Homo-oligomer: A and B are copies of this chain.
Amino acid sequence: MNTSGKLFINNRRLWSWMRASVLSIGAFSIGVYYERKCHLYADVVAPGPTTTTTTLNIGTHGDDVIDSPKPSLHGSGSSNNHMAQISRFGFPSMDSLRSYRNFLLSYDRRNRIANWVLEYVTNDDLNADDYNRKGIEFREDQSFHRYFRSTNQDYKGSGYDRGHLAAAGNYRNNPEHIKETYVLSNIAPQIGRGFNRDKWNDLEKYCRRKIRELKSSSGLWICTGPLYLPQKDAVSGKKFIHYEVIGHNHVSVPTHFFKVLLYPGHNGQWFMECFLMPNQIINDKTSIHSYRVDPEIIERSAGILLFNQIPRHQLLINP
């Protein structure tokens, strides 16, 4: 045992150090708060991601801990609270994370679209006297290196819509919040008629109906993302993943999308609904409920864990 080891076996000193640590970590956070206060809401018109410091453990043992580190988010008071609320039940993963005002986003730099987007939407977000999206332009996410960004040019002439992951319609009470959802890292190539403008839109409307049914004190957590599902070759019996890429930057066109809802019931019960839809023209008469799946299917395919800080047996799934 070396000298520093002996030092800490002395319990009194250890406690003295720990006391000092606890006190001053608090002080440090307040310092950060003070420093950030000046900059945080500076760029309202073209909001980029807010500056966020995350401390995470990597490489520890125990599966659930590793695959969903709980970052401690520091930021302005209100922003911090909102991020804590969004991520209350865990992060699906920690890859290239960006925190916006109303959603958290994990980016897939190889595929040039998000891995997932996580939202927390309340009744307040939906209250609007006049809701207008006209004139809002899609813009590149400048926070990613130009090698990994998607651009409007990539989508041009591709035949695909620029489909929202965090839906613009979820933030109709604040034009700035709507604008924020137009960042291209929150956008994925979607079939337009029959999907983005129809059945997928129905699913987004369904989320808002659920929010309106909730008590005003609560909101709805939504996790949305792309999937690249394999198909079996009839002749060889082998499985292949096959998807298009568009534009100069090779933006991936997902084969499917998922959307998972989490919300509290009226008697302390929690509900989770898991939707998986093909990025195809879907017959208008098909019920969105026929696209509900077991969460494990989404989790395995997307490489993420869904709201995994709630034990799965405590959830009513696809009620």
Contacts and interface: CB of A to CB of B under 8 A. Distances in A.
B34 A27 contact: no
B109 A303 contact: yes
A49 B59 CA distance: 6
Contacts of A206: none
A177 to B, nearest CB: 17
Interface of A: 4-5, 8, 14, 17-18, 20-21, 23-25, 27-28, 30-31, 33-34, 37, 48-61, 63-64, 66-67, 93-99, 108-111, 115, 142-148, 228, 230, 238-246, 249-250, 252, 296, 299-305
A175 to B, nearest CB: 23
Given A66-B144, A239-B250, A241-B241, A59 B97 contact: yes
Contacts of A301: 110
B93 A303 contact: no
Contacts of A14: 31, 34
A243 B240 contact: yes
Given A28-B25, A56-B54, A244-B240, A64 B145 contact: yes
* Copies of this subunit: 2
A31 to B, nearest CB: 6
A37 B5 contact: yes
A312 B23 CA distance: 42
A165 B8 CA distance: 40
14 contacts: A17-B31, A21-B27, A23-B24, A52-B57, A58-B98, A66-B143, A66-B144, A93-B96, A147-B303, A238-B244, A239-B245, A239-B250, A241-B241, A241-B242
B58 A99 contact: yes
Given A5-B34, A20-B27, A239-B250, A54 B58 contact: yes
A250 B300 CA distance: 9
A33 B64 CA distance: 24
Contact of A228 (B23, B110, B302): B110
A94 B96 contact: yes
